[in-house]
Amino acid sequence: MEHKFTNRLIDTTSPYLLQHAHNPVNWNPWGPEALRLAAEENKPIFLSIGYAACHWCHVMEHESFEDEEVARFLNEHFVPVKVDREERPDLDEIYMNATMLYTRGHGGWPMSVWLTPDGKPFFAGTYFPREDYSGQPGFMSVLERLAGLWREKAGDLVNDATQVAGILANFHKPAKGEMVSRKAISEAARQMLQAYDPRHGGVGSGSNKFPPSMSMELLLREHRNGGGPQMLEAVELTLEKMASGGIYDHLGGGIHRYSTDSQWLVPHFEKMLYDQALVSAIYLDGYLVSGKKLFSEAARGIFEYVMSNLQSEEGGIYSTEDADSEGMEGKFYIWTLEQVQEALGKQEARLFASYYDVTGQGNWNHPGDAHVPSGPKNILRILQPLEAVARQHSIDPQELRRRLAAARRKLCAVREKRVRPGLDDKILAAWNGLMIASLVKGAAVLEEPEYRRAAVRAAEFVLARMQKDGRLLRSYRGGVANLTAYIDDYAFFIDGLTGLFELTGDLRWLAEAERLTDSATEHYWDPEQGGFFFTADDHEKLLVRSKLANDNAIPSGNSVMVSNLLRLHLLLGRNDLRDKAAEILSLFSASAAQSSFGHERLLCGLEAWHDGFREIAIVGESQDPKTQALLRTVSGAFVPNKVVALLDPSAPDAPERMARIPLLADKQLLDGKPTAYVCRNYACQLPTSDPQALARQLATAS
């Protein structure tokens, strides 16, 4: 296909940037060339930040960036720069803070920021329609106004931008203090619980509900420590409503990014890898605590989706599937009653429609616009228990379950003939680390070797293809790995590697986790105040070198590193790692206790510090059924703060393992049988070969 226009984004690898490579806008990727051009021509920079699965990014592109009149004005008066926020979270974080300042707290994507030639922001917003609308200025009006101001009052704009840059520099300067008490965690969890919707679950009762994975983790931990049944009830209700709602893909598995309504019916349809990782992990925890099969089935559905649709042939896992197909949001996922009847026949369609709330009138009362299909639309969801629907149709529940499964397979095959949403096939080290950690948990809890193989393949890919000179790289696509990693990449990947060691017993994963931890310490640790900077010591100089502990859509690198450091301290016997965890908690825990939402994973790390870990050694031949029974007992218990080490006395590396891992020192078989040791600070309870006795020790080891 011939294109009328091509700009400098054509030489990038990001799918998001390549989406804009044939705009008439003369886009530049972020870098010294764009900054030099702005300085030489004395033009302000128009910085547009988004991501490939962002619906409103597509809308703004179609309305403005593909419009030749808009492009001519933009090219004449500004230096346009386009950034993929998933590749450059450092830029996204800095300029999102600026956007929040200029809009009084209204951030989002696409992010639209106007900068001085040296990168300081003097105006910002998010999505702008092309023309003025309902009293709000359109994109052309904003461009004309800012171009005039730069022409007439550039000095004032530069002064304002310098002041804003100073504010941004002080945004994240935590002051080291005392680590807060264990009581503060319980209070934070109680406050968090008050924000949960008692009717539909999730946080708040209005629109835009995101899966609150990390806050549910804290509630489950607090429930385990005597926090009361309400905490478990809030988590169970949320997990049930999400699994039944339209946010969950009932045909293909996987979870959409968030719901636009309080009942989890209408999602923004993009599927982000980090959501698949975090949500599957909390479903596994919910299953361990409650035993509800619905939760394990939801986790399985997410894992199957990831392995079938996102894992590359090389092993790395892709980032995102878009919300849009054929220019319409959600078109791939929604159904009319007639489409269901055509695919299944009227009798089977009647059963399917009854269970999944498909009607002739539709259950999505969207008015319809250029970006959403019009007419009666149905998003699959479950409103009644299967047993109730079976009674309504005078059918055995097991028979209904079988027929619904067959119907889902048929409809899934029909859906696969539709135009699929776009795939963002870049591979990010951080998001792969999150998914590896969840796959490891799934392999253990659900006893699925396929999940283990998927996790191993992803880890091997990152180690083989996403490193340079022993240091991690952020992004990979099309045979090219680039961009120096951020602390998130290290933290999440180390977490996954440590989990792989605990699952497989293979020392190479522990060795890689230790090596990368030392590398992160060398290049990201703040020797003056403690804590990890977001960027490396040799990263390009930006307005701010942030040090963050805020948990947002994904946890912060510092939050995850707390857990990593504590686990590796116990597995390797390195007190320096424990000391670094203490420094992070001393730096950030006071603000975390004051603002529990936004610090959920950090509070989990603080809870782990105060409550300590269960150190579990399993001694026995790895393939012995009795060894496997002990491992299943460990995997089947909800013990969030634990480390696990396996010693096979017959393995050639057994002496090395005992010397390297203090927890395994002097551990032996009991009466020649596979044996479990449950310890605290290397002081162990009586060893046991009985899985039931082991379960009791795990349950009472708080």
Rg value, the chain, Cα: 26
Distance CA 490, CA 297 (A): 30
Confidence tier at 521 by pLDDT (50, 70, 90): very high
What are the helix (H) ranges across 123-211?
139-169, 182-194
**Cβ proximity of 576 and 163 under 8 Å:** no
Q: What is the pLDDT of residue 372?
A: 53
Q: Is the per-residue pLDDT at 373 higher than 60?
A: no
Q: How many CB atoms lie within 10 A of CB 326?
A: 10
**């105060």: which residue's tokens?**
610
pLDDT at 701 (0 to 100): 47
How far does Cα 52 stand from its chain's mean position?
A: 16
**How many other CB atoms are there within 10 angstroms of residue 190's CB atom?**
16
**Predicted local confidence at residue 391, as pLDDT:** 96
Considering the four listed CATH numbers 2.30.30, 3.40.30, 3.40.50, 1.10.3210, the one that applies to the domain covering 614-699 is 3.40.30
Measured CA to CA, the distance from residue 150 to residue 165 in angstroms comes to 18
Q: What are phi and psi of 621, to 5 degrees?
A: -65, 135
pLDDT in tens, 198-249: 999 999 888 889 999 999 999 999 999 998 899 999 999 999 999 999 999 9
Contacts of residue 183, defined as CB under 8 A and 6 or more positions apart, other chains included, come to none
523 and 536 Cβ atoms separated by less than 8 Å:
yes
Angle 625-635/691-699 helices, nearest 10 degrees?
20
Tokens (6 digits) for 306: 């990831």
Angle, vertex CA 419, rays to CA 365 and CA 335, nearest 5: 30
- Model confidence pLDDT, tens digit, residues 297-314: 999 999 999 999 999 999
CA–CA dist 126, 551 (Å, integer):
22
Q: What tokens does 587 get? A: 């730096």
Which one, of 594, 619, 616, 640, lies nearest residue 697 by Cα? Answer: 616
Positions of CATH 1.50.10.10 in the chain: 182-326+424-611
Q: Is the pLDDT of residue 110 over 80?
A: yes
Give the count of beta carbons closer than 10 Å to the beta carbon of residue 345: 12
Q: Please, where are the H alpha helices in 472-556?
A: 487-504, 507-524
- Name, in order, each residue with C-beta under 8 angstroms of 469's C-beta and a sequence gap of 6 or more: none
Could you tell me which of 422, 446, 350, 419 has the C-alpha nearest to residue 389?
350
Our CA angle for 702, 441, 202, nearest 5°, is 80
Residue 473, strand partner residues = 484
Query: 290: which DSSP letter?
Result: H
CB 222 within 8 A of CB 645: no
Residues 386-403 have a mean pLDDT of 96
Residue matched to tokens 């990947």: 493
582's CB contacts (< 8 A; 6+ apart) are 179, 609
The Cα 341–Cα 351 span in angstroms is 10
Alpha carbon distances (Å) from 175 to 307, 397, 404, 587, 594: 43, 59, 57, 6, 14
- CA distances for 624 relative to 395, 447, 620, 670, 694, angstroms: 44, 15, 7, 14, 17
pLDDT recorded at residue 1: 60
- Percent of the chain at pLDDT above 90? 90
Q: Please, which pLDDT band fits residue 591 given cuts at 50, 70 and 90?
A: confident
Q: Which residues contact 434 (CB under 8 A, 6 or more apart)?
A: 273, 274, 277, 278, 492, 495, 496, 554
- Residue 553 has phi, psi (to 5 degrees) of -65, -30
Half-sphere exposure of 272 (CA within 13 A, CB side): 20
Residue 475, SS3? strand
Cα separation, 65 vs 46, whole angstroms: 12
Residue 137 CA to residue 565 CA, distance in Å, equals 49
Residue 47 has pLDDT above 60, yes or no: yes
CA distances from 674 to 32, 453, 503, 621, 631 (A): 61, 25, 17, 7, 10
Containing 272, the helix (H) or strand (E) segment is strand 271-272
Question: How many Cα atoms occupy the beta-carbon half-sphere of 90 within 13 Å?
Answer: 21
Q: What value does the mean pLDDT take over residues 344-354?
A: 96
Region 572-598: what's the mean pLDDT? Answer: 93
Residue 116 confidence class, pLDDT cut points 50, 70, 90: very high
Instruction: Note the pLDDT of residue 285.
Output: 98
> What is the dotted CATH code of the domain comprising 8-169?
3.40.30.10
Please state whether beta strands 423-424 and 320-321 pair in parallel, antiparallel, or not at all (unpaired). Answer: antiparallel
pTM greater than 0.85: yes
Mean pLDDT estimate for the chain: 94
DSSP string across 148-159? HHHHHHHHHHHH
Between helices 213-224 and 182-194, what is the axis angle to 10°? 120
CB 358 within 8 A of CB 378: yes
Which CATH number is 182-326+424-611's, of 1.50.10.10, 3.30.70.3270, 1.20.1290.10, 3.40.50.2000?
Answer: 1.50.10.10
Note the pLDDT tens digit of each residue in 437-459: 999 999 999 999 999 999 999 99
**Are 513 and 568 within 8 A, CB to CB?**
yes
Q: What is the pLDDT of residue 643?
A: 98
Which pLDDT band, with edges at 50, 70 and 90, does 374 fall under? low
Q: DSSP assignment of 648-694, as one string? A: -TTSTTHHHHHHH-GGGTT---BTTB-EEEEEETTEE---BS-HHHH
Stretch(es) of the chain classified as CATH 3.40.30.10: 8-169
Tokens describing residue 362 = 């539709």
